[in-house]
Amino acid sequence: MRITFIAFGTRGDVQPAIALGQALKVKGHHVCILASAHFKAWIESHGLEAAAASIDIQAIMESEGGQDWVEQGNNPLRQLRVMKALLDQSGWAMIMDAWNACQDAGAIVSSFTSDLYAVSIAEKLRARHISMPLQPSLIATHSGAATINAPAPSRESALNYLFGRALVETMPWQLYGAPANRFRQQVLGLPPQSLRQNLDARRRMLVVHGYSPHVVPHPSDWPANYYTTGYWFLDERDHSSPPPALMEFIEAGEPPVCIGFGSMTGRDPQKITRLVAEAVSRSGRRAVLLAGWAGLGGEDLPSTIFRLDAAPHSWLYPRMAAVAHHGGAGTTAAGLRAGVPTLVVPHMADQPFWGGRVAALGVGPKPIPRPKVTVENLGEAIRLAATDPEMKERARVLGEKIRAEDGIGRAVDLIERYLTG
């Protein structure tokens, strides 16, 4: 069967799709992944078809609106306003890219950012529809652990359910319900949907959550067709040796801390670099600084910090005393699997949620939202993450549990059963 993945987003959104797509290809399916054009060669290097989107996610992140999103993303109301403005500019193009990529697909795999309009594409094409969210679905539950921005995050509560019904379930519709209905009518020739009709359609999808139930326990009140499978890791084989200078740095003393904010851009990367360097000095630790899209480390650094453009997290993180990052779903997964403490500096979207889960599990310090980062609190959090023995032991145990899972195998079994049923 031809299966098309709609994987709009950063590397952390595309990488799990490649991992799952490879496993489905082994089962005899033809897999196509729709993603930003600069991911095309990477997708194809894994033997999958790539459909290049007209929207450049990196350019969006580096735009004025993208910078506002990064800097204001810890405030839910401001985040909604910024996301709405960005989708007003690029949402129609994203929908049309998805429509064009899904032609001839027997199954469509959407996610957090595309479920709302993918249900209409699947309806029109009479295709099977699967959702592969990397964070808890935007559906009401009593579980605080599985509710983003939950009013009672540490327990089961009716408050969480009511909050989910009133705000969580309606958020996608507020963001792009209008263009989705315009698409249904003008392009697909289908009648418009109400919020409730769209939500009912999303409830009928097969939903496979690509994270560990040890990190976010599966809610008992979710629909029976919603599953939590475990993470989908793509362990790429880099046959080149790590830079000798990096190995010398790692082996020159106690394990360093890895710090990097991935795809999160910044208006002043030099300022962020200086803040991180001063915090590392204050912590008394050494650090590997990952440059990321923000280009951190573009100035002289002390000998206690090694700047690195990029490295496979699966290789680098287990060699660290702790990891500090933005809290993207994929980066958080890699840190937890490595079995080392994690410090989250959330910038936007679901990152505050992952920072909260890390702290609730006791495998990292309390998250520090980007607007509140100082030399003092970042330095102290780095020190705590790298030295607290109980935190280190909890992280080690959780890492063992995650490494024992077969998230990809579980997801493929569920998808195969659904496609052949």
Tens digits of residue pLDDT in 243-273:
899 999 999 999 999 999 866 556 677 888 8
Contact 4, 120 (CB under 8 A): no
The whole-number pLDDT of residue 192 equals: 96
What's residue 221's pLDDT?
97
Q: Which amino acid is at 332?
A: T
Can you identify the CATH homologous superfamily of domain 2-135+170-231+405-420?
Answer: Glycogen Phosphorylase B; (3.40.50.2000)
Give the N- to C-terminal CA distance of the chain in Å, as an integer.
14
Tens digit of each residue's pLDDT (9 = 90 or more) over 312-340: 899 999 999 999 999 999 999 999 999 99
Tokens found for residue 212? 């560990």
Contacts of 271 (CB under 8 A, 6+ apart): none
Those residues of the chain that have pLDDT short of 70 are 57-80, 82-84, 86, 237-240, 262-267, 293-295, 298-299
User: Contact at 8 Å (CB) between 190 and 123?
Assistant: yes
pLDDT at residue 72 in the model? 59
Q: With a threshold of 0.75, does the pTM exceed it?
A: yes
Q: Is 123 left (phi over 0), alpha (psi -120 to 50) or beta?
A: alpha
Order of all β-strands in the sheet with 257-259: 305-308, 287-290, 257-259, 322-325, 342-344
Q: How many CB atoms lie within 10 A of CB 62?
A: 17
- pLDDT for the residue 63: 63
Where in the chain are the domains? 2-135+170-231+405-420, 244-403
- C-alpha 48: how far from chain center: 21
Same fold, 2-135+170-231+405-420 and 244-403: yes
CA–CA separation, 300 and 2 (whole Å): 50
From 351, 335, 350, select the one nearest 385 (Cα to Cα): 335
CATH match for 244-403 among 3.30.1360.120, 3.20.20.370, 3.30.565.10, 3.40.50.2000? 3.40.50.2000
Whole-angstrom distance, CA of residue 420 vs CA of residue 90: 36
